[in-house]
Structure 1
Amino acid sequence: MSEGTHPVTAVRRFNRFYTSAIGVLDRRYLGSPYGVAEGRVLYEIATGPGGGEGVTPKRIGEITRMDAGQLSRIVGKLERDGLVARRRSATDGRSIELSLTPDGAAMFAGFNQSSAALAEQLIGGLSAQERRSLVDALETAQDLLTPGERPPAPIVLRGHAPGDMGWITERHGVIYGREYGWGPGIEAVTARVCADFLEHFDPDREHCWIAERAGERVGCVFIVKDTAPETARLRLLMLEPSARGTGLGRRLVEECVRFSREAGYREIVLWTHAVLTAARRIYAAQGFEIVETWEHDEFGAMEVSETWRLRL
């Protein structure tokens, strides 16, 4: 994935490629008279717990996440076509089990052989090393996209590096535009803050924290010098939606307070807006207090701005 590609865009692009490559959109999947949904139901019946000798519709639904009504219609069609049979479960009289008829087993064997041939055709031009790389990539993708089976990667904080200021500017424009309807004014303000930080950076009195999870940037905040020598200014606290609810916002603000105390500042001030309720709760919890409010329309709509102050 290129650095500028959003993960959602990459996933959707791969979905389009792969569904076309394996013929998912064909009504006659793999040369059979059935579509991919019917083929998947045949697969689950053939390879289920009973190895073709019996699997419940409930279990098929759990595995495929198929709508119960759709699954019922597919099973009914396969029964009418003589490929699937049902019987009352020997262990639970309230449940039924599905199995393949001889015709169903023959149909599945054809499906299975055609599917394997198609996969081999897709990878036929790859070297042994490329095939190993493909297997690793597919297994990684499956692990990453399987919910609930692994703990989330830890979020780490680091200082700024080349490329971070462009990301900060871009994400402020996108997130605040999408969530609050702010116009290009927020991106312009953010770009000026980032440019000033880089041009006048004083490592003893200023700092930028970038939060990363598994190598992906998910948040940021700055401490910079204000006009008064004993006053620090907290700027550009921002979290990606994926990092919210993790305590990251509180952690970033705590880092700002710690750094400011160690740098010898006597107070921290910040500019925020009444609409940013989550950030305001974090500031209040750290002991910041509102000292000034005013209105402006710099971002395209009338907003209530606030100055907050924390005495150190």
Structure 2
Amino acid sequence: MPIDGTDDAIAAVRAFNRFYTRKLGVLDQHLGKSPFSLSEARVLYELAQRDELAAKEIGNELGLDPGYLSRIVQSFDEKGLITRRPLPADRRQYQLSLTAKGRQAFTRLNLSSQNEVAAMLAQLSASDASRLTQAMATIESVLEQRRTQPAAFMLRSHRVGDMGWVISRQGAAYAADYSWDISYEALVAEICAQFIRNYDAAREHCWIAEVGGEPVGSVFLVKATDEIAKLRLLQVEKKARGLGVGRALVEQCIQGARERGYSRMTLWTQSILVAARGIYKSAGFKLVATEPHHSFGQDLIGETWERDL
């Protein structure tokens, strides 16, 4: 029998769940000293991230009982936090949007939650905070990839040795595919070195895609300003293309930026990187500026893409 089916493994997971929920205080009647229960806060969060969600979509994504969700929606409506309008395709279903009052309520709740987590992290050393967030990312990637990602690959947080792999594979891949010279490898090395030296777990992250335990792709989330996150160094190995790795890395980076409190995201790419540009466009990025330049031994057209979060 596999280890995840043993009594010891089951007991360990249940014990961790009890510890984790107690530590974060989600067993309290209200979340973050707010007037909202945990389930209400989760619904409010989903509405704040995406406009005009159908109530049924929220219920499916959060696993909420339809009757319970209906009571939450009714309560939000009575408090003036949301607007409701019937879906054109099915007038029995409602499309929900936050009102200005609702967005103010979410902002207060989000800030309170961020402050509570920041206070918890402040008690840890920088190395322990990094270990904690990386362990959380590992738990998330192991459990989530079975539900939403193709079984062929998984995403995990960076660890010792990954930066060397990123530098080597980026340099080799762009030399082989686009004849870029070694100055590009030098640029990647500088970016990775800066990421390691200045790493802020609360604002930045790197995700590595793996197939069978072997790295096949990467993406970096770095701080541009307090409000703007930057996506950097997206790369997928040829043998892993077609699996949805690039799209999953970009979506994870966007979600990571939202969770870290950024309001906007930017990236810099080149016009010849057709596949990457397609992923960015489908993920909601818009081309906002272009500039010809000579870099990496080639004449290129640099592009800046942005999107709101």
Q: Identify, as 1 or 2, the structure richer in helix.
A: 2
Q: Which residue of 1 aligns with 2:270?
A: 273
Distance 1:267 1:191 in 2: 26
Matched, 1:307 2:301: no
Q: 1:214 aligns with which of 207, 212, 222?
A: 212
Which residue of 247, 255, 258 maps to 1:258? 255
| Structure 2 counterparts to residues 57-96 of structure 1, below 5 A | none
* Unaligned runs of at least 5 residues, structure 1: 1-151
Could you say what secondary structure the match of 2:168 adopts?
helix
Residue matched to 2:158: 160
How far does the alpha carbon of each residue in 1:54-75 deviate from its partner, in whole angstroms, 9 at most, with x for none?
xxxxxxxxxxxxxxxxxxxxxx
SS in structure 1 of the partner of residue 217 of structure 2: strand
Mapped partners of 1:293, 1:260: distance in 2: 24
State the 1:170 CA deviation: 0.5
Hey, what does 2:183 align to over in structure 1?
Answer: 185
Name stretches of at least 5 consecutive residues in structure 2 with no aligned partner: 1-149
TM-score by length of 1: 0.50
How far is the alpha carbon of 1:156 from its aligned partner? Answer: 1.1
Work out the CA distance in 2 between the residues paired with 1:233 and 1:165: 18
Post-superposition Cα deviations, 1:24-43, rounded to whole Å, max 9, x if no partner, equal: xxxxxxxxxxxxxxxxxxxx
DSSP-derived class of the 2:298 partner: coil
What aligned pairs does 1:140-179 form with structure 2 within 5 A after superposition?
154-179=152-177
Q: What code does the residue aligned with 1:308 have?
A: W
Give 1:154 deviation, angstroms: 2.2
Distance 1:167 1:213 in 2: 15
Quote the residue 2:280 is aligned against: 283
Check if 1:195 corresponds to 2:193.
Answer: yes
Q: Hey, what does 1:3 align to over in structure 2?
A: none
TM-score (normalised: structure 2): 0.51
Distance in 1 of aligned mates of 2:208 and 2:176:
22
Aligned residue for 1:245, secondary structure, equals coil
Per-residue CA deviation, residues 116-167 of structure 1 (Å, 9 max, x unaligned), is xxxxxxxxxxxxxxxxxxxxxxxxxxxxxxxxxxxx9621111111111011
* Cα contact 2:152–2:243 (8 A) shared by 1: no
Once residues 249 and 160 of structure 1 are traced to their aligned partners in structure 2, the CA distance between those partners, rounded to angstroms, is 16
Contact 1:155 1:213 (8 Å CA) reproduced: yes
Instruction: Give the number of the structure whose alpha-carbon radius of gyration is greater.
Output: 1
User: 2 CA distance for matches of 1:279 and 1:291?
Assistant: 16
Q: Contact 1:153–1:214 (CA<8 Å) still a contact in 2? A: no
Counterpart code for 1:179? D
| Residue in structure 2 matching 1:241, options 221, 238, 241 | 238
Question: What is the rounded CA distance, in whole Å, between the counterparts of 1:212 and 1:287 in structure 2?
Answer: 25
Aligned-residue offset at 1:310: 0.7
- Matched residues, percent identical? 49
User: Matched residues in 2 for 1:272 and 1:219: separation?
Assistant: 17
Paired residue secondary structure (1:223):
strand
RMSD of the TM alignment (CA)?
A: 1.1
| Cα distance between partner residues in 2 of 1:236 and 1:181 | 17
CA distance in 2, matches of 1:267, 1:179: 31
The secondary structure found in structure 1 opposite 2:201 is coil
Structure 2 CA distance for aligned equivalents of residues 296 and 201 of structure 1: 30
Q: 1:223 touches 1:234 (CA, 8 Å); kept in 2?
A: yes
